[in-house]
Amino acid sequence: MYLVHLFFYRIFKFIYDWYIASFFFVWRKLRETLRSFDQVLALGITLRNLFNPLYQDYSPVGRVLGPIFRMGRVIVAFMFYGFVITCALLFYLFWVSIPFYILYAGVYGNFPWTL
C-alpha cells in the first residue's frame, strides 16, 4: 500500500513541479525582468506624462514635439515588452511540451537520437 501511495504521490509531485511550479517560476522571472526594464524604459512615467511637454518646455515647439517623442518611446517600450513576453511564453510552452514529446517518442519509438 505504501508503494502504491508513493507511486501516485511521485506522479502528482512531478506534474505539480513540472507544470505549476515552473509556471510560477517563469511568471516571477518575467515580472522581475519587466520591472528591471521599466527602470530604463519608464513606461508608466511616460504614459502619465504623455501629453506634457518635454523638459517643461511650454513653447509651441515643445508642446508639439513632446507628445510625439513620448509616443515613440511608448511604442518602442510596448514592442520590447511584447518581445520579452513572447519569448517567455514560447519558453514555457516548449517546457510544457517536453514530457508529451518524450511520451510520444517512447510509444512510437522514434527518438531522434536512435537509429
Cα distance between residue 43 and residue 71, in whole Å:
10
* 35-71: pLDDT as tens digits: 999 998 889 889 998 888 888 888 888 889 889 999 9
Q: What is the predicted pLDDT for the residue at 53?
A: 86
* 78-108: pLDDT as tens digits: 999 999 999 999 999 999 999 998 888 888 7
Look-up of cell digits 513620448: 70
Q: What is the predicted pLDDT for the residue at 9?
A: 96
Per domain, the residue ranges of the chain are 2-108
Q: What is the predicted pLDDT for the residue at 114?
A: 59
Q: What is the predicted pLDDT for the residue at 17?
A: 95
Among 4-8, 48-52, 72-76, 111-115, name the one with the lowest average pLDDT. Answer: 111-115
Q: What is the predicted pLDDT for the residue at 104?
A: 84
Over range 6-25, report the average pLDDT.
95
φ/ψ of 52, rounded to 5, equals -90, 150
Note the Cα 27 to chain centre separation in Å: 7
**Contacts for 55 with CB less than 8 Å, ≥ 6 apart:** 62
Cα distance between residue 100 and residue 3, in whole Å:
25
**Which among 74, 78, 82 has a CA at the least distance from the CA of 45?**
74
